[in-house]
Amino acid sequence: MNIFVLLAIIAALVAIQVVGTRFVKLNRLAWMAIWWIALYLALSFGIDPPLPTTIIALFMAIVTLALLAYLSADSEELETAKNTIVSFMTERKYMVPLLIAVVAIPLLVAFKVYSDMTQPPQPPASGRTIHPPPPASINFEGNTINLATANNPYRDLEESDPEAFAQHNANGRRIYFENCFYCHGDNMEGSGMFAHGYDPLPANFNDPTTISQLQESYLFWRIAKGAPGLPGESTPWASAMPAWENFLTEEEIWDVIIFLYEFTGYEPRAQGMPH
Amino acid sequence: MTINRRSPVLRAACIAFLAFIVLILTGEVAFGAPQEAPGDGDYRTMPFVGSRVFMWVVAELHLMFAAFVLAVPMFALVIEYIGYKTGDKRFDELAYDFTKLLSVSFSFTATLGALLTFGLIILYPALTDYLVKIFSWTFLPYVLLFFFEAIFLYSYYYGWGKFSPRVHLFLGLMLNIVGTAIMFIANAWLTFMNTPNGIDELGNLTSVWDAINNYIWMPINIHRLIANVAFGGAIGAAYGAYKFLGAKTDQERAHYDWMGYIGNFIAICALLPLPFAGYWLGVEIYAYDQSLGITLMGGTFSWLFIIQAVLIGNLFLAANYYLWLSMGRIAGAERYRRFIKYLLALITICFIVWATPHSLVATVEEARAMGGSHHPILNVLGVMSAKNTAVNLLILTTYVSFLLYRRANKEATVSWAKMGNLIQFSIFAVVVIFVVFLGVYGYFVDAQTRIGLSQPQVMSVLFAMVAVTVIDIFLFKNARKRGEIAWGKIPGRAQYALFFLAITFTWLMGLMGYVRAGMRQHWHVYGVIRDTSVDAYTPTLGFAGLVVSVTVIIFFLFLAIVFFLSGLSGKKNWAPKSPPPPEATTTEPLPDAEPATEPEKEPEVAGLPNPLASLLRFIRKKS
């Protein structure tokens, strides 16, 4: 968050409120415009890292709808707003500001076009599907694993034999730091030493919206099959994840999954019970 | 009766249309040999648009009309019952106004249903054969119920005023029961395709009941039941708006303003619990198979859920907007106008939270600045904990708008008025804090616990709505009235808000219908019968949006015909322009002319009753 920018916007709003109530009577249309600009500035410059332009456009569309609803929810206020616009465009006393507006609007559009055109070329924005849907089952070392029903075979040891569970966790740690941390980082934040070479960046497992949302069988599939095993839908996936089935055994993959959850402190999503 | 005269023409038109379509389909069968498809597949192609798009559009149109035909009798019956119990004839007339829309809609539903069946048999014979094998026992009761549906529907409509009120109400009740049973049976077929159950590994039937009672059967039943009422209410309100805008007298404007209000009231009442039912459906889908759940919420279809969030946010916004505009026709509502901006601010924030995607559409530079496609701050708004919290607050806000509307022209006279308001405010405050707390707490617990937290969130919101309503009833008992409701005195844009609601509901139904069916991806019956046709791919989001939009446009074209035909029943009989010779005139009605008992619509301009208030008056009188 850019606290100073946000504080400046709030201060400006308070100042306009004071001026608007004590000296100049601002109508609802004026307040609408002020709020629209304030929110646009807050979203564009008040948040760090900056929001993508697509999300700002989405938010501002919602804000615009809401402000229009507010303006037109009261017939008297709507009439006043309409009269304000008509008088601004027709009355002689507004000639100078009208001329300024007539010149400024095309200039602003021109400036926007110029600034867009002078940007260095870059690929268009794209929406990435984060969680590819897994297949119903996969083949691993000649065995079929049903992903809808498969459980981590060592998960129960957590209760029944904590010592054995700790060994699997330790094994998972070893495997992680031998194979995974180069990309996913030593804190599992997706900031390993190779991470800067990838687009998109490797997954951040500390994020509460990644592995804590998923079942262990899903992780098994992603680790075992990697990018080559991703489904045909929603392509291109743009993933550099290797197919670890070529390097790790089934037990090693389950162990590293245990370590991922133990390290981050998240619980895997349980397999579905409702019905 | 005008309808009687028209019906054979309509039926003939329907049959001709049906015959034309069958001709196209069978013509194709005659000269287009079935494709050789590997495995279980066996297909024929539909010219021009392809089999999938054809079935998609027809199924969706059938569903939309079916939803309407099932929903209208539900609230028509309730409104008629209120009229019967309170003795207020205007409710009876309103219920009749809604029921007028049924007759033509039922014919359209049946025709589209037949078209859907023919399409399945001709274009997807192997799939149809398999479904018939699984559900053969259910087809007979389905057909029988359909006959009963026709009997009850037409006797309910044509028998208006011809039977004693109790008999007529019984007919309405039976119509609802039979209609709901039909929907439950059809739901079993389609939900089986998503979450097949009661079969062995080779797809052979082991239990019909298990096949019916699959994972999402009951959630879909409940979700559709509620959604149908919301949809039917919105379409009914749109009819009121259509008639309002074309009204020539103040009386007509008053009546149709009231009708629009009641339709919208029904739609909002049904909309409030709808997200909860949808969430239950989502949980069951995820429970059946994580792959389906991920496809739906995190994978291919997740972007459609962003569109859904935008549409639902718009629905809430428009529903509140209509209520705020409606307050303009109530003397005394000015006191509450100052609250609108706060309600709007809360709605906007919740709308933004709900519409925030988990992974953002970003350029490479933007993604690099964020450290991935997840924004470190907005990221938390992209998951269900935030969404559930937002929707619960949206529901509470809409309820507050309704509460303000309800008490707009009333002034409490009870001695404990201040205390009552304070208690109501405290309930709201506690529930809002509780809902937000659970939403935040959801980020710190495992997924199963997090899913479970949605229940106390929902229950606390329901508690708040029920508790505040009960207090409000006693608070405004013997309240002083500041003025009457001036029905008909509402800006035209309020009527456009009703159109917007109806179109948005329909679009939403089309979109989510596609999502529900499309999440099977390359399966006809998920995991059992693979789609090996030329359409065995997931269409792009843009193409899917286009098909849904075209379907919605076709539906509204059909609906315009329904509105037009339904409006004919109130028109005068045709007469030649030049006056007939005196000896030819007669005061006797034509044998099948509109009966003299047809109620003349002359409602009062002011003081049209609120159904809730009338029901409460009746309960009070009884107690």
Which residues sit opposite B523 in a β-bridge? B530
- So what's the pLDDT on residue A130? 66
d(CA B503, CA A52): 30
In this structure, the answer to whether residues A112 and A145 fall within a common structural domain is no
Q: Is ipTM > 0.95 here? A: no
Quote the domain boundaries for residue A10.
Answer: 3-117
Nearest to A274 among B287, B289, B443 (CB): B287
Per the CB < 8 Å rule, is B294 touching A218? yes
In this structure, the answer to whether residues A14 and A106 fall within a common structural domain is yes
In this structure, the answer to whether residues A87 and A185 fall within a common structural domain is no
Q: Which of A34, A122, A209 to substitute to test the interface with B, most B CBs within 10 Å? A: A209
- So what's the pLDDT on residue B577? 74
**Residue numbers in chain B where pLDDT is lower than 70:** 1-41, 372-373, 578-623
Residue A272 lies in a domain: no
Q: Exposed, middle or buried, B592 (CB in 10 Å: 0-12/13-18/19+)?
A: exposed
In this structure, chain B runs to a length of 623
- So what's the pLDDT on residue B598? 43
d(CA B508, CA B231): 10
- So what's the pLDDT on residue A128? 63
Which residues sit opposite B199 in a β-bridge? B205
In this structure, the answer to whether residues A43 and A160 fall within a common structural domain is no
d(CA A165, CA A156): 8
In this structure, the answer to whether residues A161 and A250 fall within a common structural domain is yes
Which residues sit opposite A171 in a β-bridge? none
Per the CB < 8 Å rule, is B325 touching A73? yes
- So what's the pLDDT on residue B492? 92
Per the CB < 8 Å rule, is A122 touching B295? no
Q: At what angle do helices A28-45 and A3-22 cross, to 10 degrees?
A: 170
Predicted model pTM = 0.81
- Dihedral class, residue B139 (left if φ above 0, else alpha if ψ from -120 to 50, else beta): alpha
Q: Which amino acid is at A205?
A: F
d(CA B354, CA B359): 13
Nearest to B352 among A62, A125, A272 (CB): A62
Q: Please name the residues in contact with A113: beta carbons below 8 A apart, sequence gap of 6 or more.
A: none
- So what's the pLDDT on residue B622? 59
Chain B positions touching A275 (Cβ under 8 A) are 215, 284, 287-288
Q: Which single residue is written with the structure tokens 């997840």?
A: B374
Q: Which residue of B has its CA nearest to A1?
A: B377
The DSSP annotation for B193-231 comes to HHS--SB-TTS-BS-HHHHHT-TTHHHHHHHHHHHHHHH
In this structure, the answer to whether residues A195 and A141 fall within a common structural domain is yes
Residue A233 lies in a domain: yes
Residue A154 lies in a domain: yes
- So what's the pLDDT on residue B611? 57
Which string of b and e fits B176-215 if b means at least 16 CB within 10 Å? bebbbebbbbbbbbbbbbbbbbbbeeeeebeeeeebbbbb
**A213 touching chain B per CB within 8 A:** yes
Would you give per-residue pLDDT tens digits along chain A (275 residues)? 789 999 999 999 999 988 877 777 788 888 899 999 999 999 999 998 899 999 999 999 999 999 999 999 988 889 999 999 999 999 999 999 999 999 999 999 999 999 988 988 777 776 666 677 788 789 998 889 888 788 899 999 999 999 999 999 999 999 999 999 999 999 998 889 998 888 777 888 988 778 887 889 999 999 999 988 887 766 667 788 899 999 999 999 999 999 999 999 988 887 665 56
Work out the number of other CB atoms within 10 angstroms of the CB of residue B547: 19
d(CA B347, CA B324): 13
Residue A200 in tokens? 């998109």
Per the CB < 8 Å rule, is B283 touching A123? no
**Long-range contacts, stretch B565-569, CB < 8 angstroms, 24+ apart:** B565/B6, B565/B10, B565/B104, B566/B100, B566/B101, B566/B103, B566/B104, B566/B239, B567/B243, B568/B2, B568/B3, B568/B6, B569/B1, B569/B2, B569/B3, B569/B100, B569/B594
In this structure, the answer to whether residues A193 and A93 fall within a common structural domain is no
User: What domain count does chain A have?
Assistant: 2
Per the CB < 8 Å rule, is A212 touching B446? yes
Q: What CATH number did the domain enclosing A148 receive?
A: 1.10.760.10
Residue A124 lies in a domain: no
Structural domain spans, chain B? 2-330+485-571
Residue B308 in tokens? 């859904």
Binding-face residues of B in 521-540 toward A, CB within 8 A = 521, 527, 537-538
- So what's the pLDDT on residue B612? 56
Per the CB < 8 Å rule, is B379 touching A209? yes
Residue A67 in tokens? 């402000």
Residue A220 lies in a domain: yes
CA atoms within 13 A on the CB side of B411: 9
Question: What's the Cα-to-Cα distance from A203 to each of A187, A258, A262, B230, B374, rounded to whole Å?
Answer: 12, 17, 17, 41, 10
Residue B33 in tokens? 């040999």
Per the CB < 8 Å rule, is A131 touching B299? yes
Please name which of B168, B435, B148 lies closest in space to residue B276, comparing C-alpha atoms. Answer: B435
d(CA A227, CA A239): 5
The DSSP annotation for B54-91 comes to HHHHHHHHHHHHHHHHHHHHHHHHHHHHHHHHH--HHH
- So what's the pLDDT on residue A273? 58
Residue A179 lies in a domain: yes
DSSP state of B522: T
d(CA A51, CA B369): 9
Q: Judge whether B322 and B497 are in contact, CB under 8 Å.
A: yes
- Dihedral class, residue B87 (left if φ above 0, else alpha if ψ from -120 to 50, else beta): left
